[in-house]
Amino acid sequence: MPASVPDSTRARAQAGGGAIPAPVAARRAPWSWLRNDNFWAIAVLSPSLVAVAIFIYAFILWTIYISLVGWNDIVPNYEFVGLRNFQRLSQNPRYLIDLANTAKFTVLFMAQCIGFGFLLAVLLDQRIKGESIFRTIYIFPFAISAIVTGVAWRWLMYPNSGINLLFDSVGLGILKNSWFADPNIGIMAVSIPAAWQMTGYTMALYLAGLRGISQELREAAKIDGASGWQFYRYIAVPLVTPVTLTVFVILGVISLRLFDLTAAMTSSGPAFADDTPAFFMFQATFQKNNFSQGASIAVTMLILAAGLIIPYLRSIHLEAQR
């Protein structure tokens, strides 16, 4: 019988035939809630959640609203015009060129990043000597800003310097080209520095996926005769399919929002050969004060990006439920 129970309480419980009540709980300290983990979790995350709600989602809603009004002058005009801005945008020759440029850039950009990135990952997966040095060299361009990359490659691809001078010096003048200054291949030339910057990042993702393949599976494949490239073709490539999907989404979003690289290299180029929707949006909004037109371009870019991200997130959700 607990000694902490008062004698009067003990007597009443015994007389009534009931159980002796548990000891009275000690009162909580005045500031005990400060030791609550849930409180500190909410306190730490709240500023970030508020910032995301305001500077991302609230601004997205504001952009959608501006795309539905007639604010195409320096003076604000909030008259509702519906989808008129989108209709005009679909009839704008420059925007149609931008969409075609984006499609060409995306295909070439992804092909270079995925192809060279996987190849470099396979080479490093052989655990060569000095692997850490090569890893650093390959991924270093990813650490450089797109503006710096654009300025450097603008000089390299300038018709009278850089790569063309190198071709002349080795007797390959036939390979000289106008690069981004050529209206026919301008956006294709821009994909080269973009791929140079992102190939190392792609390599790192693929290398992580390859290193996740167990040694037992590698040895079993070797016993079955799948050695060398056969292992990577028939076993590794299917196993790193989730990595490929991730790379596809990341590079696709980068392609859709391409701005700083083209701005530093070409500023849309001759006949809009290097123009992109993001650069068009920048000029329409901040140089010509066509705010509703710029907002409509931003909304179409958001829709295209959502077309990549939403299926990806859905596939991850379905995979987690299995």
Distance CA 16, CA 93 (A): 94
Return the structure tokens found at 61: 């809603």
pLDDT of residue 31: 67
Distance CA 248, CA 153 (A): 24
- Lowest mean pLDDT, pick from 28-42, 126-140, 237-251: 28-42
- Name which residue leads in pLDDT, 80 or 269: 80
Distance CA 115, CA 161 (A): 28
DSSP state letters, 63-100: HHHHTTB---SSS----B-TTHHHHHHHT-HHHHHHHH
Phi, psi dihedrals of residue 80, rounded to the nearest 5°: -70, 125
pLDDT of residue 39: 78
pLDDT of residue 6: 52
Q: What is the mean pLDDT of residues 266-294?
A: 89
Q: What is the mean pLDDT of residues 313-320?
A: 83
Q: What angle do CA 185, 188, 190 make, to 5 degrees?
A: 115
Task: Give the distance from CA 131 to its chain's centroid.
Answer: 27
- Tell me the whole-structure pTM to 2 decimals: 0.83
From the number of C-beta atoms within 10 Å of its C-beta (0-12, 13-18, 19+), residue 180 rates as buried
Q: What is the mean pLDDT of residues 252-277?
A: 87
pLDDT of residue 86: 96
pLDDT at 34 over 80: no
Please provide the size of the chain in residues: 322
Q: Which of 276, 264, 269, 274 is nearest to 300 (CA)?
A: 276
Q: What is the pLDDT of residues 96-138, one digit of tens each?
A: 999 999 999 999 999 999 999 999 999 999 888 888 899 999 9
- Lowest mean pLDDT, pick from 30-39, 41-50, 286-295: 30-39
Judge whether 263 and 150 are in contact, CB under 8 Å.
yes
Q: Which of 193, 107, 99, 91 is nearest to 142 (CA)?
A: 193
Q: Which of 6, 39, 35 is nearest to 20 (CA)?
A: 6
* pLDDT above 70 coverage of the chain, percent: 89
pLDDT of residue 220: 87
- Name which residue leads in pLDDT, 32 or 186: 186
Determine the 3-state secondary structure of 25 from DSSP.
Answer: coil
pLDDT of residue 265: 86
pLDDT at 230 over 70: yes
User: Looking at the DSSP assignment, which residues form a beta bridge with residue 69?
Assistant: 80
CB atoms inside a 10 Å sphere around CB 253: 16
pLDDT of residue 20: 47
Q: What is the mean pLDDT of the chain?
A: 86
Which amino acid type is present at position 131?
Answer: E
Pick the CATH number of 92-215+222-321 from 2.60.40.1080, 2.70.170.10, 1.10.3720.10, 3.40.50.300: 1.10.3720.10
- Name which residue leads in pLDDT, 257 or 11: 257
Q: What is the pLDDT of residues 295-306, one digit of tens each?
A: 999 999 999 999
Q: What is the pLDDT of residues 179-229, one digit of tens each?
A: 888 888 889 999 999 999 999 999 999 999 999 988 888 888 888 887 778
Any idea where the domains of the chain sit in the sequence?
A: 92-215+222-321
pLDDT of residue 289: 93
